[in-house]
A and B are shown apart, each in its own frame.
Chain A
């Protein structure tokens, strides 16, 4: 596709449920990033992939959060046993280069609401 695609756009989960959020990056982009954005705040870094390798997961808030990119293209962010504090917009971005040498292209995000 032309841009970064994320699904679902909106997800409502009951506390304790597991959720999976999908990101389709721009074709050919080697770098993929996940961010979490709480209401009224700037995006916060969660994790970074270069192809299929997860090079940085320092921003994942707990071991309930897990991300994968098995074939170096589509990525999935999984949140186990969701809590109310997990409610946020989850943003995916891709880049043709590394962290800071080029432009990040963001998707529109997946809004997660945990009841």
Chain B
């Protein structure tokens, strides 16, 4: 199974952009890149997903490297509410893969 590597934790200041990195050097051509986040005492929440092109939605942007071996989740203006664990996940649409969570990155937002 393709794996992802994320930093254990990151800090950012409130109202500044946040770039959360994810390495996935063994990604296959049919792997989607998904991001979920989990706020304290809540279930995970979908953030964004993509295959090859960069993606934008109301929550965030996903920048995918040209070789697809890494990606970056971008929160354009962090708020205290964005403090959460962020999970970067690969799943192969061709094999009907499950969404498998790793340990993620714990993001701390400083007021």
B77 adjacent to chain A (CB < 8 Å): no
Contact A42 B97 (CB under 8 A): no
Query: Taking chain B's interface residues, is the majority helix, strand, or loop, or is none over half, making it mixed?
Result: loop
Number of B interface residues, CB 8 Å? 24
Residues of A within 8 A of B100 (CB): 45
Residue picked from B32, B85, B98, B103, most chain A C-beta under 10 Å: B98
Do A42 and B93 form a contact, CB below 8 Å, given A99-B98, A106-B44? Answer: no
Do A101 and B46 form a contact, CB below 8 Å, given A41-B103, A42-B103, A42-B104? Answer: no
Query: Taking chain A's interface residues, is the majority helix, strand, or loop, or is none over half, making it mixed?
Result: loop
Closest to B43 in A: A106
A52 adjacent to chain B (CB < 8 Å): no
Binding site for B on A (CB under 8 A): 4, 33, 35, 41-45, 48, 56, 59, 91, 93, 98-101, 103-109
Binding site for A on B (CB under 8 A): 32, 34, 36, 41-46, 49, 85, 87, 91-93, 96-104
